[in-house]
Amino acid sequence: MLQNDLRPPGGTKHKRKRVGRGNASGHGTYSGRGLKGQKSRSGAKLRIGFEGGQLPLIQRMSRKRGFTNIFRVDYAEVNLSSLASRFPAGSEVTPETLMRAGVIKNLKKPVKVLGQGDLEGALTVHAHKFSAAAREKIEAAGGKAEVIEA
pLDDT tens across the length of the chain (150 residues) = 899 999 999 999 999 999 999 999 999 999 999 999 999 999 989 999 999 899 998 888 877 778 889 999 999 999 999 999 999 999 999 999 999 999 999 999 999 999 999 998 999 999 999 999 999 999 999 999 999 987
126: left (phi over 0), alpha (psi -120 to 50) or beta: beta
User: pTM, whole model, 2 decimals?
Assistant: 0.57
Q: Where are the domains of the chain?
A: 76-147
CB 110 within 8 Å of CB 76: yes
Collect all residues with Cβ–Cβ distance below 8 Å to 89 and sequence separation of at least 6: 120, 121, 122, 123
CATH assignment of 76-147, among 3.30.1330.10, 3.100.10.10, 3.40.50.360, 3.20.20.100? 3.100.10.10
Q: What DSSP letter does each residue of 91-130 carry, written as one string?
A: -EE-HHHHHHTTSSS-SSSPEEEE--S---S--EEEESEE
Q: Give the Cα separation of 22 and 30 in Å (integer).
A: 10
- Nearest Cα to Cα of residue 89 among 113, 114, 125: 125
Collect all residues with Cβ–Cβ distance below 8 Å to 52 and sequence separation of at least 6: 38
From residue 18, alpha-carbon distances to 23, 27, 66, 141 in Å are 12, 7, 43, 80
